[in-house]
Amino acid sequence: MTPSRPEPPPGYREIPARLNIAGELIDKIPERGFADRTAFVWDDGLLTFDTFADRANRLAHGFTQNGLKAGDPVLVRMHNCHEFALTVLALIKIGALPVLQNSLLGEEEVDYVIAHSGAKAAVTLESLATPLRNLARKLPLGIFVARGVDNDRSFERLIEDAPPGHYPTADTSSEDPAFFVYTSGTTGRPKGIVHAHRWIIALGDSNAYRLPPLEGDRAYATGEWSFISALGHNVMFPLRNGVTGVILEGRPSPENVLRTIQDYRVTVMYSVATVYRRILAMDGVENQYDLSSLRGCNATGEALEAATWQEFKDRIGCEIWEHYGVSEMQMVLGQGPLQPVRPGSIGVPIPGTDVAVLDDDYNSIPAGQPGHFLIRSDNSGFFLGYHRDPEKTAEVVHDGWYHTGDLAWQDEDGFFWIAGRSDDCFKSRGIFISPYEIENVLRQHPAIAEACIVPLADKEIGNRIRAVCVLKEAAKRSDDTAEEIRLSVRDRIAPYKAPHVVEFVDELPKSPVGKVLRRELVS
């Protein structure tokens, strides 16, 4: 039986017919009494809620004065920064559709997302602008650049030249598309996950229930905001709850994550198990940084072992609350301060969310036995579907359930435990890796005849990416060849997708019909 917890508050997950995410987060700041509080803080400054709202309204004016309108998809290519948060909220305010894509992706991947999403314009940082400038002819409403040359299309000029005061928020339905999140799928091409305005209440209420916000909280997520978990926990939910979002602009490392916690007195952190493992690998880390501000940490994206949980609690002094989410929703179930933690479990369902472990015929499975982990698909927090891909949507949403592709089991007390993936994708550093996408790039190398990507278990990052290749006859097997192949892949796609290991074999194991037997290569 699921452990007892407090009942949700009145109005929990009640969604009005007319709703706009920016209206919920920006327009309600005065009535909630948040105006003078700090909304975001980073190494070079801070923004109060009132100032953030003013700049978002001005930016909305600037975007519309430059031709953007409701319904226009707009690619956002930024690392975490206050300009990112302002851009997303200003675009949503005018009814445009932010298209979020990881800033590490290369020009080929950017080109695909522009075409697939139908992006009319893009907003970026000067340091990340090159691929967009190379593709400018495909963006009819142009590129807006922050931290670059001061001209009529600079991000800063849009805000400076816009009239002050409230920009009227677009009158949108709670069921209307609000933003896209692009993530790599098992087919090798990024999927455009379309979220509705209703998401902010469905998931905002769920997150506030699991981990009730406290006045004075400072929330920090280590992931890039192009991932919906980090976007929610570091931007959207802090704005809704009146707490401060702490921004680390650089790529996270154990050292700068710890410095961020110490310098900005972070109270709640959101990260992946890899980060916690890397922190614990530092000898005496608990004596090198003041982490006493933490009241709790959160882990998602990959399994957090009980041993890691216990060591972190013993050495750092706070618990890690594991939770489970999917990009198509954000968070489904989890652990938190409302009940004792069961280390290694992903917790219990959030009120309003139904999950189940079922067999192939949708029959219940006894406690302790693994089966398909499914989420009831009528949940108001779910995505609207994959953009321009109804077939893929129908693959995962059918018979009243969303099919996660994970295997799980439930214990006798109602806690859920992930048993593994039921397909060939795997996670490295908490990010799903699609073998097919990497194999497609590998096969374009002149020396490679065949290639297969499989996971190589690693205690620190979950899995390393292992490429098993068959070379063409004239190619020479050597360490230099392996390294050249690895670097060539790194140049073509996002660095985190590049193989860590490249190995050569005479042939790949195959079935009688010629299908590569991938699992025979997993060591």
- Tokens, residue 321: 């609350």
Residues of the chain with CATH 3.30.300.30: 426-521
**How much is the pLDDT for 511?**
57
**Residue 348's pLDDT is what?**
94
Beta partners for residue 121, in sequence order: 74
How far is the C-alpha of 445 from the C-alpha of 328, rounded, in Å?
A: 34
Contact indicator for 334, 356 with CB cutoff of 8 Å:
no
* Chain region(s) in the chain for CATH 3.40.50.980: 46-197
- 5-16 confidence digits (pLDDT tens): 889 999 999 999
Secondary structure letter of residue 38 according to DSSP: E
Amino acid 301: pLDDT: 80
Question: Is the domain 426-521 a CATH 3.30.300.30 member?
Answer: yes
Alpha-carbon distance of 273 to 238, in angstroms, equals: 22
Give the model confidence (pLDDT) of 389-414 as tens digits: 999 999 999 999 999 998 889 999 99
Tell me the average pLDDT across 312-321: 95
pLDDT, mean of residues 333-359:
93
Average pLDDT over residues 451-461: 91
pLDDT in tens, 32-83: 999 999 999 999 899 999 999 999 999 999 999 999 999 999 999 999 999 9
Residue 305, pLDDT score: 72
In this structure, CATH architecture of domain 46-197: 3-Layer(aba) Sandwich (3.40)
Average pLDDT over residues 466-484: 91
Give the C-alpha separation, 121 to 118, whole Å: 9
Q: Which residue has the higher pLDDT, 443 or 185?
A: 443
Longest CA span, the chain: 72
List pLDDT tens digits, range 94-127. Answer: 999 999 999 999 999 999 999 999 999 999 999 9
- Give the number of C-alpha atoms closer than 13 A to the C-alpha of residue 393, restricted to the C-beta side: 14
How buried is 390 (Cβ within 10 angstroms: 0-12 exposed, 13-18 middle, 19+ buried)?
exposed
